[in-house]
């Protein structure tokens, strides 16, 4: 039994899609060719929206709208269902309207290319082209598309590694996460760590690069040493920092205690431990950022800086008005890569430094995916978690691209 019949849901979505298309077609500013075909466009809009919703919900058998044994619907489930319904409809509608737009404007549909020369022309060329692409496609299918599909499938199941069977549980894995305050805290911790890792590593690396890029005696050797921390895996960085920061056996507290009579609970206090992780991760990724900034600084045209200096600009003015804007593509690239590092690659470091503690104050989303999926073998919940993490990081990256528009200059 369903709360609302799937047919009604699809009809509603179709109506919304059709209505939207019709409104767009009649709106002022639409081309005459579009206005004349408003009915057809409304029909196409309705069909694509319904199809999009159907493609996502049919494999789930519309389960978010199903009633349980007592005839009750789960509110969170229904909300997730509506989200999927609208999401699918929206995406399909966007694709369809872009295709129809091209068709109305008489443009070629995407896929057709104009350059057709060389080995892959003439009879049988498509077959040969496919044959040559086969290894790449096979690898992509095996290691990217199939795991991706499998993750989606697993996220709707109760599944354990080694278990003889799996059970379809609809949205339960997501449902459990959304209602869990611990998960909310994990998300916050991830963002907190990522924000400060990015901020510190970029600021520090720019400062160091600014000092290290100049042609000084032994500069090459010195610069090579600066990159060295990046050559260590996060695991090794975690071990090194554990030896430094360990509460009882650590070097740092030993020195602090013998000189100042002071002991800092680096890894024991839930408010301090995240900072320790930030420091260790920053140290680990710093070399990578320095490398790029040094390369960038060496490409800042000297004549610009010289001219500014002659005009009376101070060193600080020169840095903020010339050097920093010219470095913006590198800064943007580093923001994106260090964000990815902070979200995904700090797992090993955290595992060896704090194991996610104390009191889960350094448990990031990625760390939890591993803990739940690999250590606890709960594949379904881990798949749901990794999909959410994936969505969040994609969202952050899109925001970064949006925000950087007009602020990043590529060449002149």
Partner 1 sequence: MRKTFLVLTLLLLAGLTLLAPVQAQGCSAEAPCEIDALIGFTDHRLDWAVERAVEFGEMFPQYVVNIESFSDYEPLLDSYILSQEQGNPPEIMQLFEVGTQFAIDSGYFKPASDIIAGRDEVLGQPVDFDDIIPVVSSYYTIGGDWSSVAWNTSTPILYANLNILGEAGIMDLPTTWQGVEAACEQLQPMVDAGSIAGCIVWPNHGWFYEQWLAQQNTELVNNGNGREGRPTQVLLSSEASLNIVQWHKDMYEKGYYAYSGKQRDWSGAVQAFNSQQLPMIMTSSASAGGIMRNAGENGVEVGTSNMVYDEEVGWTGNILGGATMWITDGLEPEIEEGAMAFLLFFSNTENSATWHQVSGYVPVRNSSVALLEEQGWYEENPNFLTASIQLGESQVTIATQGAIFGTFVETRNIITQAIEDAMLTGGDVAEIMAAAEEEANVLLEEYNLLYVDE
Alpha-helical runs (H) found in 266-327: 273-298, 302-310, 315-318, 324-326
Task: Specify whether the CB–CB gap between 316 and 293 falls below 8 A.
Answer: no
| Interface pick for partner 1 out of 75, 110, 114, 119 (rule CB under 8 A) | 119
* Residue of 12, 90, 91, 160 that binds partner 1 (CB under 8 A): 160
- Asked if 106 touches partner 1 (CB under 8 A), the answer is no
Total interface residues for partner 1 by CB under 8 A:
42
Question: Using alpha carbons only, what angle is made at residue 176 by residues 174 and 178, rounded to the nearest 5 degrees?
Answer: 70
**Minimum CB distance to partner 1 smaller for 166 or for 328:** 166
Per the CB < 8 A criterion, the answer to whether 49 and 18 are in contact is yes
| SS3 assignment, position 311 | coil
Q: Among residues 176 and 210, whose Cβ is nearest to partner 1?
A: 176
Residue ranges in 172-231 that form contacts with partner 1 under rule CB under 8 A: none
CB closer to partner 1, 71 vs 164: 164
How many residues belong to the chain?
Answer: 412
Sign of CA dihedral 396, 401, 407, 411: positive
Under DSSP, is residue 224 helix (H, G, I), strand (E, B) or coil?
helix
What is the spatial distance between Cα 251 and Cα 255, in angstroms, rounded to a whole number? 6
Residue 131 beta carbon to partner 1: minimum distance, rounded to whole angstroms: 6
**123 sits near partner 1 (criterion: CB under 8 A):** no
Residue (119 or 316) nearer to partner 1, CB = 119
46 binds partner 1 (CB under 8 A): no
Q: How far apart are CA 211 and CA 213, in angstroms?
A: 6
Residue 364 in tokens: 């990031």
101 binds partner 1 (CB under 8 A): no
Cα 379 from Cα 310, distance rounded (Å): 64
Q: Contact 170/380 with Cβ under 8 angstroms?
A: no
- Quote the CA–CA distance of 273 and 258 in Å, as a whole number: 22
Which residue lies nearer to partner 1 by CB, 171 or 353?
A: 353
Pick 49 or 267: Cβ nearer partner 1:
267
Dist. CA 74–CA 67, nearest whole Å: 8
From 162, 181, 215, 312, residue interacting with partner 1 (rule: CB under 8 A): 162
Options 39-47, 136-144, 240-248, 292-300: segment touching partner 1 (CB under 8 A): 240-248
Question: In terms of CB distance, is 19 or 358 closer to partner 1?
Answer: 358
- Residue 119 Cβ vs partner 1, minimum distance, rounded to whole Å: 7
CB-nearer residue toward partner 1: 123 or 215 = 123
Q: Which of 355, 392, 396, 408 binds partner 1 (CB under 8 A)?
A: 355
CB of 238 to partner 1, least distance (A): 11
Q: Which of the residues 248 through 307 are near partner 1 (CB under 8 A)?
A: 248-249, 257, 261, 265, 267-270, 273
CA distance 21 to 39: 9
**H or E, element range at 267:** none
Cα separation values, 399 from 133, 169, 317, Å:
34, 33, 29
Piece of 46-54, 72-80, 164-172, 226-234 that binds partner 1 (CB under 8 A): 164-172
Of the CA atoms within 13 Å of residue 402, those in its CB half-sphere come to 6
Candidates 143-151, 349-357, 392-400, 403-411: pick the segment binding partner 1 (CB under 8 A).
Answer: 349-357
| Degrees, nearest 5: CA angle 378-382-385 | 150
| 312-331: contacts with partner 1 (CB under 8 A) | none
Q: Is 375 in the site for partner 1 (CB under 8 A)?
A: yes
The site for partner 1 (CB under 8 A) is made up of: 119, 128, 131-132, 134, 158-167, 242, 246-249, 257, 261, 265, 267-270, 273, 353-360, 371, 374-378
């Amino acid at each position: 039994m369903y709360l609302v019949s799937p047919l009604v849901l699809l009809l509603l979505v179709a109506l919304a899609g059709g209505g939207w298309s019709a409104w767009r077609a009649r709106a002022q500013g639409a081309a005459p060719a579009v206005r004349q075909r408003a009915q057809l466009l409304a029909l196409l809009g309705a069909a694509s929206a319904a199809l999009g919703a159907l493609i996502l919900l049919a494999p789930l058998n519309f389960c978010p709208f199903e009633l349980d044994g007592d005839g009750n619907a789960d509110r969170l489930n229904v909300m997730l269902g509506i989200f999927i319904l609208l999401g699918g409809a929206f995406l399909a509608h966007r694709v369809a309207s872009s295709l129809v737009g091209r068709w109305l404007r008489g443009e070629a549909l995407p896929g057709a290319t104009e350059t057709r020369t060389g080995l892959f022309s003439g009879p049988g060329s498509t077959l040969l082209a496919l044959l040559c692409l086969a290894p790449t496609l096979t690898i992509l299918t095996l290691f990217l598309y199939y795991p991706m599909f499998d993750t989606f499938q697993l996220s709707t199941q109760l599944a354990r590694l080694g278990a003889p069977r799996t059970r379809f549980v609809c949205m339960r894995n997501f449902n459990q996460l959304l209602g869990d305050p611990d998960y909310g805290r994990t998300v916050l911790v991830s963002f907190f760590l990522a924000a400060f890792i990015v901020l510190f590593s970029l600021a520090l690396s720019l400062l160091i690069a600014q000092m290290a890029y100049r042609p000084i005696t032994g500069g090459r050797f010195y610069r090579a040493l600066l990159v060295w921390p990046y050559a260590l895996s996060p695991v090794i960085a975690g071990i090194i920092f554990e030896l430094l920061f360990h509460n009882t056996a650590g070097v740092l507290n030993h020195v602090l205690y013998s000189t100042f009579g002071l002991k800092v609970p680096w890894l024991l206090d839930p408010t301090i431990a995240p900072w320790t992780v930030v420091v260790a991760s920053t140290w680990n990724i710093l070399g990578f950022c320095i490398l790029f900034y040094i390369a960038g600084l060496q490409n800042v045209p000297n004549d610009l800086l010289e001219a500014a200096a002659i005009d009376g600009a101070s060193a600080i003015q020169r840095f903020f008005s010339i050097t920093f804007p010219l470095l913006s593509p590198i800064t943007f690239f580093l923001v994106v890569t260090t964000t990815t590092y902070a979200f995904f690659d700090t797992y090993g470091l955290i595992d060896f430094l704090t194991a996610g503690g104390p009191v889960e104050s350094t448990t990031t989303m990625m760390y939890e995916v591993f803990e739940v999926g690999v250590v606890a073998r709960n594949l379904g919940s881990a798949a749901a978690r990794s999909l959410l993490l994936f969505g969040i990081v994609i969202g952050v990256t899109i925001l970064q691209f949006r925000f950087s528009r007009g602020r990043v200059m590529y060449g002149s």
